[in-house]
C-alpha cells in the first residue's frame, strides 16, 4: 500500500492564509488541505452536520429530542411486514423488545418510530403526560407534515399502529447463579373526537384530539 503524497500546503500555512474568527465550509478546508483527494458530497454533508452539532452543543443551542430507552436499544421494523405477521421481536444483547400488533392495524414500522419520539419530547417539554391538540391542522404542524387529508390519514394510521400494539420490553441477566428477568409493558391511549361526518357532502370537522402517555 503506497502512502498518499503530502499536501501542497501545510495546516499551519492554511491557518495563516485564512482570516481568524471566521467560519468556513468543511468542503473548502478539505479542498485546500487535501487537493489529491476527491470527497463525495455525502461525506462533506456528514462532516458539516457533525461540525454544526458540536458548535450548537458548545453554545447550548441544541434542539433536543427524547425517546424511550427500549426504542433506542431495539428499533421497530424498517419495512412494512406482511399483513399476517403480528408479532415482532428484536434482541440487543440482554435487552429484548417484543411488539404484538393489532389485528386491524398491523405492526408499527418505518416512520412510525417518530411518533413515540415526538410524543416523548412534547411530554417532557410540557411536563405533562397528557398531550392535547386543538385541531388536526395543529397536530400535522407539530409533526412537521403538510396540511392535507392524505397526510392526516397517514398520521392517524401511524397512531393506530403504535397505540393498537402491545409492547413489552425486558432485560435478562444472571446474578449469583440466579436468573433475573425484568419486563415492562407500554400503554398509550389516543382519544379522537370527530363530528360533522356526512357521506353525501364528504366533509369532516375536527374538534380535537388527546393523547395520554
Domain boundaries, the chain: 11-59, 69-212
Tell me: the pLDDT tens digits for 164-200?
888 888 887 655 555 555 666 665 555 543 322 233 3
Cell digits of residue 151: 397526510
- Residues of the chain with pLDDT > 90: what percent? 9
For residue 88, count other CB atoms closer than 10 A to its CB.
19
Residue found under cell 419530547: 121
Phi-psi domain of 134 (left: phi exceeds 0; alpha: psi -120 through 50; beta: other): alpha
Q: Is the pTM of this model over 0.75?
A: no
Residues in the chain: 213
Mean pLDDT across the stretch 72-99? 89
Of the candidates 176, 168, 185, 188, the one whose C-alpha atom is nearest the C-alpha of residue 91 is: 168
The per-residue pLDDT for 11 is: 47
Distance CA 99, CA 172 (A): 17
Kindly indicate the confidence band of residue 119, based on its pLDDT and cuts at 50, 70 and 90: confident
**Counting runs of H as helices and runs of E as strands, what totals does the chain give?**
7, 7
pLDDT at residue 178 in the model: 55
Q: Are 140 and 151 in contact (CB under 8 A)?
A: yes
The alpha carbon of 208 is separated from its chain's Cα centroid by a whole number of angstroms, namely: 25
Amino acid at each position: 500500500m503506497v502512502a498518499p503524497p503530502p499536501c501542497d500546503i501545510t495546516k499551519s500555512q492554511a491557518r495563516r492564509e485564512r482570516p481568524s474568527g471566521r467560519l468556513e465550509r468543511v468542503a473548502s478546508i478539505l479542498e485546500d488541505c487535501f487537493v489529491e483527494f476527491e470527497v463525495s458530497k455525502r461525506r462533506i454533508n456528514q462532516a458539516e452536520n457533525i461540525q454544526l452539532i458540536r458548535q450548537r452543543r458548545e453554545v447550548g443551542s441544541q434542539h433536543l429530542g427524547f425517546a424511550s430507552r427500549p426504542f433506542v436499544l431495539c428499533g421497530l421494523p424498517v419495512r412494512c411486514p406482511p399483513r399476517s405477521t403480528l408479532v415482532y421481536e428484536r434482541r440487543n444483547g440482554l435487552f429484548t423488545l417484543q411488539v404484538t400488533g393489532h389485528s386491524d392495524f398491523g405492526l408499527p414500522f418505518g416512520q412510525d418510530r417518530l411518533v413515540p419520539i415526538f410524543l416523548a419530547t412534547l411530554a417532557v417539554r410540557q411536563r405533562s403526560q397528557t398531550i392535547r391538540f386543538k385541531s388536526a391542522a395543529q397536530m400535522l404542524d407539530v409533526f412537521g407534515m403538510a396540511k392535507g387529508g392524505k397526510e392526516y390519514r397517514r398520521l392517524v394510521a401511524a397512531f393506530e399502529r403504535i397505540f393498537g400494539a402491545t409492547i413489552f420490553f425486558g432485560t435478562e441477566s444472571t446474578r449469583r447463579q440466579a436468573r433475573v428477568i425484568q419486563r415492562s409493558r407500554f400503554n398509550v391511549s389516543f382519544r379522537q373526537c370527530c363530528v360533522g361526518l356526512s357521506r353525501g357532502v364528504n366533509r369532516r370537522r375536527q374538534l380535537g384530539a388527546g393523547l395520554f402517555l
